[in-house]
Chain A
Amino acid sequence: MAVPEPPRRLLGGRIPYIDGPLKVTGRAEYTDDLRRPGQLVGRILRSPYAHARILSIDTAAAERMPGVHAVLVGSDYPIPFGVLPITHDETALAVGKTRYIGDMVAAVAADSEGTAEEALRAIRVEVERLPEHLDPDAGTRPVAEPIHARGLNGTNVQKEVLQHFGDVDRAFREAAVSVAVHGNYAGVTHAFTEPLVTLAEATPDGRLTVWSATQVPHYLHRSLSEVLGVPMHRIRVIKPEVGGGFGGKSDPLPHEIVCAALALRTGRAVKILCDREDVFLTNHGRHPTRNEVRIAAAADGTLLAYDIDAVIDGGAWSSFGVVTTYYNGVLSMGPYRVPNFRYRGRRVYTNKPPSGAMRAHGGTNLRYSIEVALDELAERLRIDPFDLRSHNALPPNSTTVNGFRITSTSFRACLAAARERSGWDAKFRKLPFGRGVGLGCGFYISGSNSPIHFTPKMPQCTVHLKADMDGGIAVHSMQADIGQGSNTLLAAIVAEVLGVDLERVHVVRVDSDISPVDIGSYSSRVTFMMGNAARRAAEALRALLLRAARDLTGYPVEQLRMGHECVEVAHRPEIRVGFLEVLHKAMERTGALQTSGAYTSPPMGGTHKGARAGTAPAYSFAAYVAEVEVDAETGQYRAEKIWAAFDCGRALNRLAVEGQIEGSIHMGLGQFVGEAMTYRGPRLLNPSLLEYKIPMPGQMPEVEVLLVGDDDPEGPFGAKEAGEGPLIATLPALGNALYDAIGVRFLDLPVTPEKVLRGLDRRRAEGRSWKGG
């Protein structure tokens, strides 16, 4: 007979962030708060040319300046790097060419900011201007001077994906109805509040220590080693507190490598703090995208086929681009059953700041087009949008046509909750002109099954625990808390399994010298993968404690369990031994106890090219309803409320999950209402927080979070992701709500008041009335 589990004390509740007291007192330590003796200032010279061949760089005058300790150019560290091993096309500093306005060309380390700036001004760069490539569509054809030699067949296409499952043409021929939408999406950027910053120090023992604002210390570690030619074991990477990332701190970035290189050159500590313009130019934000989504359906609304084409503006570098190119098609494979699927995706280099991974990477723009198309489909078929989606929902324990393994899904429960709580049936097409509700849904990976740098047999995540004499438990992990609260969850899982108070558990700062390798915070993997690893590490420690308790009590291990700060006999909980007594017994032969837990995702996915892209051990699902109010005179509109039904499996920390959902809605709202990287030619026009418009508190709608997930069979304590998926449904819920309000479809984001006015004019010119307006 299994021992009954004691009731959960922490998980499933609202667990305050363990770093809260540090954060409200200003004592949380971010990279720029650190300072080393003799620290120098590092500064980077950026290219004013979008595309230019570098003929010569003269650094002599800069090097002669008093107070200048090192000057670097691209040829000093020419080894290419990049987050994906198959597309290493970045260099620490430009080699041979500059590829966008803002490309890093040279760097200095000096005693003071003033000296460093002066030295940059003294560097002479001679260039030959090259034709600028700005339009991704034009870049799909051969060009005279491609941005990279690796572009396909003399074009600027960095990656092309062609996939076809089933028979899409036949499905469209046989369909009762089909819809097509063309979406156009401006690029948006992470705009984390903490700027990019790195501190590096070389020491006479031949070691290099690097503190950096990074989401993925391990990829940084690898890139530093590759480019600098220093073995990883002689480099120590430390991640202090990180002031937001959202994907923008997941690539290894050139300034991080430059900073470390300057430290090596000078034998000292060097800090590079990027100013806000630098941060905007470094970018790696969401790709500007044009897509076409065609959907075929039967008369009863059954989805028959998707035919998708996407052209994605990659900017100057590859970054995560191969993944992005796949994601912009394959992340359409949920939350609905789609029996036939064809996709062509092309990511094209342009002479603009590089695009990369941003929260809900690859799923956001694609999803908007799909959900708007479904709204249109529902209208043509005179089916309620909820009914259409519910009818087509992927069932649990199914496989998509491209081979994704779907285990848990509570998507239908999401739909039901959002419909009921929003009062949908009384509002949809029934509110007065100018007011509307819209439904948008979401689907996202809960951790990429495909670790970028590891073999599939190597765990994606490992957690170590150390319990010592005083009963404190130190947790070592290289996952990166970037504000999402993963350290709190890590501590809570360990405390839950061991039955101890949270205050006994201490999460040690990420430090590559002591933290077990982990691939960090991206692809919404942390709760699922770290959570499982932490649980296993804690269960291993628990096993040692239960054996010791057996020796103390005489009861067999099978009859013992962890109680609150004790081990108790399961059927006679009044018989118990205190935690410390058990711990000390367990330590008799070994001293401090150490255990380890790991997570490896199971094999999955088909055998076709790119089959692993988009595979994940679980998926999140979402159904959001937005209610909007439009002023038809000015085009101004306001999101009044969003009902956010989300399936993250079991929410382990409701405080954090709701915070992630609210924050995702804020970010999705920003992309919908106004955020855009705006260019004149190759020049970014709005590289500041004044001109790049992020919604302020007054624009934030009321949010009602509805957590409806069932336990996931493989997630830790049943949990799935809640960090990125919650963003996706926000945008189409708003777009479809605008349609309900004023009868205009918006497929060009962001949707500014000007576009609303133009849309109203267009509709009236077409003579279409809408709800009397």
Chain B
Amino acid sequence: MPSDDELRPERRPLRRLRVNGADCPVATDPDRTLLEALREELGLTGTKYGCGEGECAACVVLLDGIAVRSCRTKIGEVSGRSITTIEGLADGGRLHPVQEAFLEAGAFQCGFCTPGMILATVALLRRDPAPDEEGIRSALEGHLCRCGGYLRILDAVRRAAARSAPGAEVAP
């Protein structure tokens, strides 16, 4: 049977999430996933449901700057922490350099894995602004691109890395 909370949303506990710099109240069960809260309550549908089992990484978001699979992350674990989704990357009308790099490399076909790939790249470059080839490949390990666009995705990550590396000219 559905819980009372499910039937009477007004009685659900309120939680506050910090998503893309804004305070977002979500009325939800702490055991629901972050993915569900983002997509269904906050309308942030750029984060994708691909498998629900943490095996495709289409649902990756940044949690305090670190890439996590939102389908395996419970709401209760993320209260008060900073969440960035694909919608929060661009600065106003200006795309994030990683988004620019994906565009330049043509690093997508169907686009379904793209938000997760981009956020994983942002997390990688935050951790290591000048990753080597091994670092790049391992950051994308577990990210399924069934269109098989890995060569271009790797190219996009290298382009973004070239710009984020210490001493690199920041793209205008």
Contact = CB atoms under 8 A, between A and B. Distances in A.
B55 to A, nearest CB: 4
B48 A194 contact: yes
Contacts of B87: 25-27
Interface residues on A, range: 35 or more
Given A25-B95, A664-B148, A243 B137 contact: no
Contacts of A194: 48, 50, 110, 112
Find the residue from B51, B112, B149 having the highest chain A CB count within 10 A. B112
Contact of A662 (B137, B142, B152): B152
A696 interface: yes
A735 B143 CA distance: 27
Contact of B111 (A16, A23, A246): A23
Interface in A667-685: 667
Nearest to B58: A193
A703 B55 CA distance: 26
B2 A33 contact: no
B140 interface: yes
A663 B142 contact: no
A688 B51 CA distance: 8
Interface of A is mostly: loop
A697 B140 contact: yes
Contacts of B118: 24
B47 A275 contact: no
Interface string A128-152: 0000000000000000000000000
Contacts, number: 176
Contacts of A698: 137-138, 141
Contacts of A690: 53, 55
Interface in A94-132: 111-112, 114-115, 118
Contacts of B148: 662-667, 700
A456 interface: no
B51 A244 contact: no
Nearest to B111: A23
B142 A241 contact: no
B2 A244 contact: no
A193 B2 contact: no
Interface of B: 1-3, 6-7, 39, 44-53, 55-56, 58, 85-87, 89-90, 95, 99, 102-103, 106, 108-115, 118, 137-138, 140-154
Interface pairs A-B: 9 shortest CB-CB: A26-B46, A483-B110, A666-B148, A243-B112, A663-B148, A23-B111, A26-B86, A689-B55, A33-B45
Interface of A: 14, 16-17, 19-30, 32-33, 65-67, 111-112, 114-115, 118, 190-195, 241-244, 246, 273, 275-276, 482-485, 655, 659, 662-667, 688-690, 694, 696-698, 700, 702-703
27 contacts: A21-B95, A25-B87, A26-B45, A26-B46, A27-B87, A32-B39, A65-B1, A115-B2, A191-B144, A192-B112, A193-B50, A193-B56, A195-B49, A242-B110, A243-B110, A243-B112, A276-B52, A276-B53, A483-B108, A483-B112, A655-B106, A663-B149, A688-B51, A689-B50, A694-B144, A696-B150, A697-B153
